[in-house]
Amino acid sequence: MSTTAQPGAEEGVIKRTPPAAPVAPIIQLQGLSVRFGKLDILRSLTAELRGRSIGLLGPNGAGKSTLINTLLGFCQPSAGGACVFGRDIRTDTRGIRGMVGYMPENDAFISKMSAVSFVQMMGELSGLPPSVALERAHEALFYVGLAEARYRQLGTYSLGMRQLAKLAQAIVHGPKLLILDEPTNGLDPSARQRMIRMIREIRDTGEMRILMSSHLLRDVEDTCEEVLILKKGRIAHYSDLNEERRANRRFLELETYGANGDFTEAIERLGCECAVTANRIKVVLAEGIETRDVFRLAAERQVRIRRLNFRRDTLEDIFLKAMDV
């Protein structure tokens, strides 16, 4: 707890500054289970999701779409429950939907409707008056880059344009939580980068929290601060990605000439882990040990380092570890 002297306070009197209040969870999963017939899709999910942007990962059939549909009230829990911004999904579905913007994976357009009419309609369905919904529709389409095409029929749109129209209808009513299901699905590299930039911008304004489901680990790594990984309907891993990156191990891959057991033993005495294959050495660096320390040991033992690669654990490593659970 910090202490600060307040202006005008009597000499020798110190007023204590109370600690910052903890961030309230966006989504609370309370033993949430969902069953379709005799098949358990989600199994006792318990977590509190608090980050500005949360990645939802897992292989096909892990339960990602079912979790999203349950939060939106389309699937009923068979046990447990969940809250979105403190609202119970069982009793306040309408209130939750008014606070959430949803960009689905699959298209759900009326092909002969113009983009501006479609986004206006979605704004009205979210509770906006018609005139406000129309104004917001123009603003949303300008924001996603469809200003010049907003009067065109949606059936004439390319895949990338349809993805942008889906994003526009998801944000038109200014939701507190934006749920994105495969937002970069099928996009070419330049369109993908544009989508990723917009998601970051939305995240960084702090006006909307983001829950993003994606099969592309790179997209989640580029946009999300926390990650929830599902496997067979259970939580396999949940963590703060920034903390993971700080804590994750650092790796060296060395291609050497003249190395022997003495060299690897010297590296291990520094607290590192080594694995030797032919003339290659894989090293997991201990905390406080840097690449220069390995070079110093090589120089002392006249070992030539022909090639060196340095890397840290990536989200792919974290995901693969979770799949081994």
Give the residues of the chain that fall short of pLDDT 70.
1-23, 244-249, 278, 311-314, 316-318, 320-322, 324-325
Neighbours of 276 (CB within 10 A): 16
User: pLDDT value at position 230?
Assistant: 93
The domain locations on the chain are 53-63+93-245, 249-323
Which class does domain 249-323 fall in?
alpha beta
Place of tokens 């406080």: 288
Please tell me the pTM assigned to this model: 0.75
Cβ proximity of 267 and 236 under 8 Å: no
Give residue-wise pLDDT tens across range 217-276. Answer: 889 988 998 999 999 999 998 888 777 666 656 777 888 887 777 888 888 888 888 877
Spatial distance between the Cα atoms of 320 and 325, rounded to a whole number of angstroms: 9
Dihedral-angle region of residue 49 (phi above 0 means left; psi in -120 to 50 means alpha; beta otherwise): beta
User: pLDDT value at position 30?
Assistant: 94
User: pLDDT value at position 168?
Assistant: 96
User: pLDDT value at position 246?
Assistant: 62
User: pLDDT value at position 7?
Assistant: 44
Which class does domain 53-63+93-245 fall in?
alpha beta
Pairing status of strand 15-16 against strand 3-4: antiparallel
